[in-house]
Amino acid sequence: MSFFSKSSAPIYIAGPCSVESKEQLHQIARAFQSMPIQLFRAGVWKPRTRPGSFEGMGEQALAWLLEIKNEFNIPIAIEVAEPAHIELALRYQVDVLWLGARTVVNPFQVQRLADSLQGVHLPVMIKNPVTPDVDLWIGAIERMEKVGITDIAAIHRGFSTYAKSTTYRNEPNWIIPIELKRRRPELILINDPSHITGQSAHVAAMSQRAMDMGFDGLMIETHPQPSKALSDAAQQITPEALWQLIQGLNIRTPHLETSNQLAQLDFYRQLMDSVDDEIIALIARRMELSNQLGVLKKEMNLSAYQPERWREIIASKTHTAALKGLDPQLIKQVFEQIHDASINHQLGLFLDPTTSEK
């Protein structure tokens, strides 16, 4: 029987960002007994951005997780990044593996892991790569399929960006998971609101949005005392908060395969709303850059309007539009409005005597 099969009921995956102690695991597992949690997730090896951070308990954590699995009768999922991790996961009877975003971005490493899973019939979850590249994501899925892994789920955890957002830790970039769903509608698609938001206060709202968009489940980081967590403290929620979140969800099940045409219509509207939100966020980011550019122009004693640069923009963007099957005139009109707003904003900076001092 497939672990990841389509159902009207969401898949709930939860657990700590990283295993810290046996007591921590027991506290969480006891709380999960009264919740519809299908899979206990836990970080064993933590790929930290910089050295010196907590990097997980390793094999000791696997021994504790096996105890949790046997005592509470709940399947266990861990992240693997090396063939040696897979060997240890099999030894300690881990039920589900997942590949992290930093791993998926490297096809060579994904292939090494796939080769290590040849002949092993374990479910595998594959997070999106850190870069917004749907082909790279699908490529990792296909590498697993080629070695015989058939029980696969995709996890949307957002995408890294140089620009720092006050809303997201990782930009959701909804277009990417939407495109994955379009190309591979049979795949289970799970949302990871913890990593997208990076803030516990926003996890519930992001979870509801994912449900509205037809995601098949949620992966949520949970900790008995989030403020004391050794990794990603800001984005973890308590088991009590998790239960409130689950109870408060409005499960609309607007999946593409539904026979109800009204549900399909509503589903596509939800997707369009999300794309519209992304457009607004991108325009806001562009205006931020325009502000920085205006300050620099003022310091260099340049005019706000640069005709040659504007002609380059129009030529480039209308050409790109044509390649994508869009009306170049439409794109020209859109960019004219954005450009006019940018120039007017920069002119305001030019009149502000304090601008260059900021």
Query: What is the structure's pLDDT at 358?
Result: 43
Given a contact cutoff of 8 angstroms between Cβ atoms, the answer to whether 62 and 94 are in contact is yes
Count CB neighbours of 172 within 10 A.
Answer: 26
| 52-60 long-range Cβ contacts below 8 angstroms, 24+ apart | 53/231, 54/18, 54/230, 54/231, 56/18, 56/19, 57/18, 57/19, 57/20, 59/88, 59/92
Q: Is 50 exceeded by the pLDDT of residue 152?
A: yes
Token digits of residue 100:
């992290």
Q: Is 80 exceeded by the pLDDT of residue 162?
A: no
User: Tens digits of per-residue pLDDT, 70-125?
Assistant: 999 999 999 999 999 999 999 999 999 999 999 999 999 999 999 999 999 899 99
Which residue matches tokens 């519809």?
36
Query: What is the structure's pLDDT at 1?
Result: 56
Q: Is 50 exceeded by the pLDDT of residue 259?
A: no
| CA dist., res. 28 & res. 14, Å (int) | 9
Q: What angle, rounded to 10 degrees, do the helices at 175-183 and 261-299 form?
A: 140
Q: Is 90 exceeded by the pLDDT of residue 332?
A: yes
Torsion angles phi and psi, residue 152, rounded to 5: -125, 140
| CA dist., res. 288 & res. 161, Å (int) | 15
Q: Is 90 exceeded by the pLDDT of residue 325?
A: yes
Given a contact cutoff of 8 angstroms between Cβ atoms, the answer to whether 169 and 200 are in contact is no
Portion of the chain with pLDDT greater than 70, in percent: 91
CA 140, 142, 146: angle at the middle one, nearest 5?
A: 120
What residue ranges do the domains of the chain occupy?
11-248, 261-357
- Which residue type sits at 344? N
For domain 261-357, the CATH class is: mainly alpha
Answer yes or no: same fold for 11-248 and 261-357. no
User: Tens digits of per-residue pLDDT, 171-192?
Assistant: 898 889 988 988 999 999 999 9
Q: Does domain 11-248 have CATH number 3.90.550.10?
A: no
Given a contact cutoff of 8 angstroms between Cβ atoms, the answer to whether 233 and 227 are in contact is yes
Question: Which region among 239-253, 263-277, 325-339 has the lowest average model confidence (pLDDT)?
Answer: 263-277
| CA dist., res. 306 & res. 300, Å (int) | 13
Query: What is the structure's pLDDT at 192?
Result: 98
User: Tens digits of per-residue pLDDT, 290-301?
Assistant: 889 888 888 888
DSSP 97-157: EEE-HHHHT-HHHHHHHHHHTTT----EEEEPPSS--HHHHHHHHHHHHHTT---EEEEE-
Q: What is the CA radius of gyration of the chain?
A: 23
Higher-pLDDT residue of 351 and 73 is 73
Position 142 confidence tier, pLDDT thresholds 50, 70, 90: very high
Chain-wide mean pLDDT for the chain?
A: 90
Q: Is 80 exceeded by the pLDDT of residue 149?
A: yes
Portion of the chain with pLDDT greater than 90, in percent: 65
